Amino acid sequence: MGTPTVSDLSVVVVGATGAVGREMVATLDRRKFPVGRLRLMASERSAGTTIDTAWGEVTVENLAEADPSGIEIALFSAGGARSKEYAPRFAEAGAVVVDNSSAWRMDPKVPLVVADVNDQAVLEHEGIIANPNCTTMVLLMALGPLHRAATLTELVATSYQSVSGSGRRGISTLLEEVEHFGKDTEALCDGTWKEPAGGLYARPIGWNVVPFAGSEVSEGYTDEELKLVNETRKILAAPDVAIEPTCVRVPVLVSHGIAASVWFERDMSVAEAEELIGAAPGIELWSEKVPTPLDAAGIDEVLAGRLRPTLGRPGGLSFWVVGDNLRKGAALNAVQIAELVVA
Ligand code: A2P
């Protein structure tokens, strides 16, 4: 498998009709990725429809029937099952696959890369490179520079994850449930509310918070929580770091926030952490205003704030970080990985 050079590459977005896939197409354009030919693929449901892109109107192809030959860069965001089945076929046909699903992330032969945190890992690829989970990605933008300076030993992290992390169905579920509850807001206060029909989550997400993101996998932890643990360890090359994760779904359309407390091999002051985060690419430190999901939505930068020293066990640091899960949490990082590949 060859590494493509920068000149009018043949690029495909697989899952192009989804929340992340659409953002991938927009990101290729925004960052002026050297696309010569753009192909778009999705399920047979969308095959034959057209999407307007910076490279003209492109007809969506059925992934199951598409011929991958000639593709140089393939950005996958069509779910784990598709990635498991098709990413190796595309790689075999000569493409470098950047996969946004969790299918390949923990494979030892597959690099897991947060651009601007562990770029050098890209060099080890054998045709597939994994894009980390959106919550992990946002957290690592703040944690990466701190870890490099002082070596992380413990992390307690609680996520506040938006519904777009679950794709288009997450978005429609929130909008429908907000409308459902909005018809009788009194009921939300006196407990007479009616369960909305057809929701995506374990409990209603409209006007609510669901302290259970993902599905349960082991000993009370969800797959989202275990991704946060395993992917953080892999990206930081810190297999022994102790991590206590809780992943929460919140009624927000875009951007994931993480409240974290961290300890290192040595004490870290707020001043040092501010300096490290302030100097890191792709992340902004907000001191005047508290950064919220609404502030982070639709921008490339991850926002950090509320840096303060730990209280119960001094020497560590507590902070808040929030980022657009469709941008840095997914599409932007995938395109940045592709940029690293062609650089
Ligand atoms: P489609 O629109 O044809 O269903 P989201 O998670 O935002 O809903 O996006 C999921 C993406 O993955 C969509 O582009 C969707 O295409 C695509 N997808 C889902 N199932 C398949 C499949 N079996 N084959 C190819 N693409 C799929």
Kindly state whether residues 288 and 142 are assigned to the same domain: yes
Q: Answer yes or no: is the C-beta of 19 below 6 A from any ligand 1 atom.
A: yes
- Count CB-CB contacts under 10 A for residue 289: 9
Looking at the domain assignment, is residue 171 inside a domain? no
- Which atom of ligand 1 lies nearest, measured to the CA of 42? 26
Q: Quick check: is 180 catalytic?
A: no
Residue 11 has what DSSP assignment? E
Residue 91: CATH number of its domain: 3.40.50.720
Looking at the domain assignment, is residue 49 inside a domain? yes
Kindly state whether residues 143 and 265 are assigned to the same domain: yes
Distances (CA, A) of 222 to 157, 228, 253: 14, 10, 21
Kindly state whether residues 100 and 153 are assigned to the same domain: no
- Count CB-CB contacts under 10 A for residue 174: 27
Q: Quick check: is 134 catalytic?
A: yes
The pTM for the full model equals 0.96
Cβ atoms of 167 and 259 closer than 8 Å: no
Looking at the domain assignment, is residue 16 inside a domain? yes
For atom 18 of ligand 1, which residue has the closest CA? 78
Q: Answer yes or no: is the C-beta of 82 below 6 A from any ligand 1 atom.
A: yes
Residue (of 162, 180, 179) closest to 171 by Cα position = 162
Half-sphere exposure of 263 (CA within 13 A, CB side): 14
Distances (CA, A) of 280 to 116, 274, 301: 8, 10, 11
Structure tokens at 222: 């969800």
Total domain count, the chain: 2
Cβ atoms of 114 and 198 closer than 8 Å: no
- Count CB-CB contacts under 10 A for residue 306: 13
Instruction: Report the DSSP pairing between strands 256-264 and 242-249.
Output: unpaired
Query: Rounded to the nearest whole angstrom, what is the distance from the C-alpha of residue 114 to the centroid of ligand 1?
Result: 24
Q: What is the structure's pLDDT at 1?
A: 45
Q: How far is it, in rounded angstroms, from Cα 288 to Cα 310?
A: 21
Kindly state whether residues 17 and 82 are assigned to the same domain: yes
Looking at the domain assignment, is residue 214 inside a domain? yes
Kindly state whether residues 91 and 153 are assigned to the same domain: no
Kindly state whether residues 109 and 235 are assigned to the same domain: no
Looking at the domain assignment, is residue 184 inside a domain? no
Residue 150: CATH number of its domain: 3.30.360.10
Kindly state whether residues 257 and 337 are assigned to the same domain: no
Could you read off the pLDDT tens digit of each residue along the chain, which spans 343 residues?
445 455 799 999 999 999 999 999 999 999 999 999 999 999 999 999 999 999 999 999 999 999 999 999 999 999 999 999 999 999 999 999 999 999 999 999 999 999 999 999 999 999 999 999 999 999 999 999 999 999 999 999 999 999 999 999 999 999 999 999 999 999 999 999 999 999 999 999 999 999 999 998 899 999 999 999 999 999 999 999 999 999 999 999 999 999 999 999 999 999 999 999 999 999 999 999 999 999 999 999 999 999 999 999 999 999 999 999 999 999 999 999 999 999 9
Kindly state whether residues 109 and 252 are assigned to the same domain: no
Kindly state whether residues 141 and 31 are assigned to the same domain: no
Q: What is the structure's pLDDT at 70?
A: 98
Q: How far is it, in rounded angstroms, from Cα 127 to Cα 4?
A: 11
Kindly state whether residues 154 and 270 are assigned to the same domain: yes
Looking at the domain assignment, is residue 13 inside a domain? yes
Which of 12, 17, 84, 164 maximizes ligand 1 atoms within 8 Å of its Cβ, making it the mutation to test the pocket? Answer: 17
SS3 annotation, 120-180: HHHHHCCCEEECCCHHHHHHHHHHHHHHHHHCEEEEEEEEEECHHHHCHHHHHHHHHHHHH
Looking at the domain assignment, is residue 306 inside a domain? yes
- Count CB-CB contacts under 10 A for residue 138: 32
Q: What is the structure's pLDDT at 85?
A: 98
Cβ atoms of 11 and 35 closer than 8 Å: yes
For atom 3 of ligand 1, which residue has the closest CA? 43
- Which atom of ligand 1 lies nearest, measured to the CA of 47? 3
Kindly state whether residues 278 and 214 are assigned to the same domain: yes
Q: How many residues does the chain have?
A: 343
Which of 43, 82, 99, 102 maximizes ligand 1 atoms within 8 Å of its Cβ, making it the mutation to test the pocket? Answer: 43
Q: Answer yes or no: is the C-beta of 46 below 6 A from any ligand 1 atom.
A: yes
Looking at the domain assignment, is residue 195 inside a domain? no
Neighbour-count burial of 5, counting CB atoms closer than 10 A to its CB (0-12 exposed, 13-18 middle, 19+ buried): exposed
Kindly state whether residues 154 and 268 are assigned to the same domain: yes
What single letter denotes the amino acid at residue 92?
E
- Can you give the residue range of the structural domain that contains 81? 9-131+331-342
**Active-site residue (options: 125, 147, 180, 256):** 256
Q: Answer yes or no: is the C-beta of 232 below 6 A from any ligand 1 atom.
A: no
